[in-house]
Chain A
């Protein structure tokens, strides 16, 4: 007679089969969403259940995408709108990485720097940064600068504080181990503190990628004539719902690919993270 433990494990599918099933389930729910979209809009096979002005069919959106890619929107190609948005995000993000990470590391290592910088960062952090956009426009004009700064304002505290917390949570034992092996301060920073903080820094970067793309929409709401979010917002004024959807999908794809890129980078660079 088989014992109880055997009977239970026999009923459980192997982990790999479970993983494959879960992957299929994920794809299936995407397919279902697309199916509902097809069904609601008729797609030329039957009368649409929803007015095209509210929800154009997936085919229309695909056609619009091709048209926009070829002929552009309001004088600029889709690629131009996309690249302009990517550049706005990229410049702001790069600034936050280059300045925010070192500032956070310093805050984590020196209580003096922390005492000086933590209060201003912490008190301004809860302010919705988009609310500051009008102010930034007055200060920095309606050009690229105010848009970049509003994104920086949102990302900088996130990135610097996650770097600070990453340094502060480095295990004392690892630092003591390095000291007792004869390492000086510079070596401890370069070979212990910095690598040990990388997983925490990466988490902060990945979170801020998502928020950065969100901020892009806000930044392109005013005083511009290009950018992918601007395209969607302008098209909405003319109820060009297909153009709006193209804009939304491009932004979704941008956010998703950046997130995937960072996940892949994370797996490569900090493969040890969370595995003691």
Chain B
């Protein structure tokens, strides 16, 4: 069985968790105009786990990620990293955005060196680190280029290298490959898997692609339509490292079928909300 229902925030998992989301909800606005974005969410993510969050558009999955990143504060509940309350962004939580977050006025190397510099490393040290991560994400020879000289896929590599350069314990990724073409996306998925295996980071990955979630993650969370809550959570293991063609196996098809089934109702609900006047 490669897709197994799990109680993500059950006490034994909680006890060993790196990252805990405890009853976090979010409303935008105040008074009677307030829009609920998230219903209370409970998550426990163990160190080294790769957790994918899938849900219909507008379900609040990015809001959840933003709360863990410290960009937004929850209306109720807590987010904890190693038992410490998350109140602001911090370098121990690296963030990779979908697109448009690179510093366009800096070269690739300067982008990657930004974090180490901000944390007080010397210019020479930061340059060394940048050089290493340029190589790591396969951009050797492009260090002096500017983001606008790179393709979309290469820009995302810079974003990943920039987040990694601070050696964060947790990586938060908000649909980082959504704007890329299929081939580039698959290639980068494999690389992010390889980086995750090598560095044992804890990864929180928001996506709307069910296949991406299944191929990459150790755990998949399915969210409901807005205001989002957790509809189902699974442990899974469909990595392509052991079998490059795992996507064609009946077990994969079965797993995908399960999640598509869950998401379909929610997408219909999301669409109904959008078209409601």
Contact = CB atoms under 8 A, between A and B. Distances in A.
Interface of A: 171, 173-174, 176-184, 187, 191-192, 195-196, 198, 270-272, 275-276
A182 B97 contact: no
Contact of B166 (A174, A181, A195): A181
* Chain B contact residues, majority secondary structure: loop
6 contacts: A177-B95, A180-B95, A181-B118, A181-B162, A182-B166, A272-B105
Interface of B: 69-71, 88-91, 93-95, 97, 99-106, 114-115, 118-119, 146-148, 162-163, 166
B148 A276 contact: yes
A52 B94 CA distance: 74
Nearest to B159: A177
A182 B118 contact: yes
A187 B118 contact: yes
B70 to A, nearest CB: 7
Nearest to A182: B91
A192 B97 CA distance: 16
B62 to A, nearest CB: 11
A183 B71 CA distance: 14
A173 B105 contact: no
Nearest to B98: A173
A272 B93 CA distance: 28
Contact of A196 (B105, B146, B166): B105
Contact of A173 (B70, B100, B162): B100
Contacts of B103: 174, 177-178, 191-192, 195-196
Contacts of A183: 114, 118
B88 A176 contact: no
A176 B91 CA distance: 11
A276 B166 CA distance: 24
